[in-house]
Chain A
C-alpha cells in the first residue's frame, strides 16, 4: 500500500495541473436530505472529478456540511436523518445495503473543522485506525506513520516525541495530524469541512499549502467560507444557496469560471461579496 505514496512527487500547485482529470469519481444524483422531516438538502445533482479539488461555497446553513456527510454516510449516525437519491463512488452505489460502510469510510477520508486528535499518543492516533482496518504488522504501521507524517510536514516536528499526547500539539499541528490520520488509510477521496477556519492565519496557511500539495493524489472536496482560499486552491467550485431553509446547488463549474464569470446572479452576488 506504500507504492502509491511514491507515485507522485509533491510540489507546489501548478496552474491547470495535469493530474486533475475530468472523469467523475463521485456522482451525486437527486440527493435530498431531511432532518426530522425538514428538508436540509434539496435534489442535488453534482459530479466530483477525480484528482481535483472541488470547493463547496455558500452561506452558512446551506447544507454544505450535510452534503459532505452524506458522501461517507456519516449521516447514518444522526438520528431521524433521512437521505434519498443516489451517490455513486467509483461507480458503486454507496447507499446500497451491500455496501460496507467501514470500507467506504476507509476509501473516503474526512477532516473536520475543529481538529479532533484522540486523547492518545501521536503514534496511537495514527496506528489505531490502521489496526482497526487490519494493518497490524509493526514495521508496516511504522512505515506508514513516517510516510504520512512526512506528507503533512509533521515528521521533523514530532518524530522524536511520537509517544507524547496528541493534545500537546498546537492547533495547526493537530489539524495536520488529523489529515495524516486520514491519509494513513490511503483513501481515494478526502472530505474537508472548513479545515482551516478554526486555525490562526499562520497555521491556516500551512494547512492550505498542504491541501494544494495533496491535489492530484487525492480527490478532495472542501467546504470553505473563505472565498479567497477557494479561489486559490480549487479546480472546481460548487455554489450552494439556501431557499426556504433547504440547501440547493445553484451553480457548478471550473473555479475560474465561477469566480470570474458566474452564470447565475446569486453566484455573482455571493462571490462579489454583496450577499450571504
Chain B
C-alpha cells in the first residue's frame, strides 16, 4: 500500500509535467511574441506595404494566403486519391494485394518531410521547370504536400471503413445494392465522421509543414498569379528568417508561429469532435 501510494505520487508528478509542456509552449510563444502583440498594431500585418522585416514592414498576408492555397490544393488532390486508396484496400483488393498496398502507404507515411522536399527539389521542380519555369512554385508545394498527407487520409479512411459493421454491408448487399451502391450509399455515410476527422488532421499537417514546402516552393513573398509562381508559406518564412531575426522581427516570427499553432489547434479540436461522434 505504501509502495502504491508513493508510485501514484511519482506518476502524478510525471503526468503533471507532461501536461505542463503544452502550457509552457504557449507561454513562451506568447512571451516572445509580446513585443509585437503590444508594440505593433496588429492591423499592420494586413496594411503594411510589403514584407520587409529589416525595414520594419510586416505584411503577412501573402504568406498566409500561400499557406492556405498550398494546403487546400494538396487536400483537393489527396482527398480523392486517399479515399480511392482506402476503398481499394477495404472493398476491392485481394487480401494479399490489400496488405501489400497498405504496407506501401504506411511506408510512404514514414518518409521524412525533408526527403520529400529533397525529392521535390531534385526531381519534381526541374520537371515543372521544363513545362513552365521557374519550377520551384506553388504547384511543386502542392504536389509534395499531396504526397505527404495522402497516407494520413488513406489510413484514417481505412480505419473508418473497417469499423463499419459488417451487418450493415450484408444488409445492403441483401437489398440488391451493387458494390459501388453499397460503398457510396452505406459505407461512406457510416464512415463519414472518421474520414472527416482524418481529412482535418491532414489539413493541420499540411498547414504546419515546413521543410518540404521550404525546399520546393521558391520562397518569394508575393501573391501568386498562377500555380507556377513561387510562393513563401508562414512556416517556411519562420525557418528562413529565424536565424538572423532580431527584436520586432523575431517577435513577428513568433506571432506567425502562434498564428500557425492557433490554426492547427482549432483544426485538431474540430477533428477530435468528429472523432468522438464516430464512437457515439
Contact = CB atoms under 8 A, between A and B. Distances in A.
Interface residues of B, number: 1
B107 interface: no
Nearest to B3: A102
A101 interface: yes
Interface in A63-88: none
Interface string A87-102: 0000000000000111
A102 B1 CA distance: 7
Contacts of A100: 1
Contacts of B1: 100-102
Nearest to A100: B1
Interface string B1-43: 1000000000000000000000000000000000000000000
A34 B65 CA distance: 58
A101 B4 CA distance: 12
A100 B1 CA distance: 8
Chain A at the B interface: SS class? helix
B241 to A, nearest CB: 51
Nearest to A103: B1
A142 B1 CA distance: 27
Contacts of A101: 1
Contacts of A102: 1
B7 to A, nearest CB: 14
A101 B1 CA distance: 8
A58 B142 CA distance: 67
B1 to A, nearest CB: 6
B2 to A, nearest CB: 10
A269 to B, nearest CB: 38
A220 to B, nearest CB: 27
Interface string B55-84: 000000000000000000000000000000
A100 B4 CA distance: 13
B3 to A, nearest CB: 10
A273 B1 CA distance: 45
A215 B1 CA distance: 32
A23 B144 CA distance: 80
A74 to B, nearest CB: 15
A11 to B, nearest CB: 40
A100 B3 CA distance: 13
A100 B2 CA distance: 10
Interface in A98-157: 100-102
Nearest to A101: B1
A6 to B, nearest CB: 33
A87 B1 CA distance: 20
Interface in A163-203: none
A255 B1 CA distance: 39
A76 to B, nearest CB: 10
A37 to B, nearest CB: 23
A102 B4 CA distance: 11
Nearest to A102: B1
A176 B1 CA distance: 29
3 contacts: A100-B1, A101-B1, A102-B1
Interface of B: 1
Of all A-B residue pairs in the complex, the 3 with the closest CB atoms, nearest first, are A102-B1, A101-B1, A100-B1
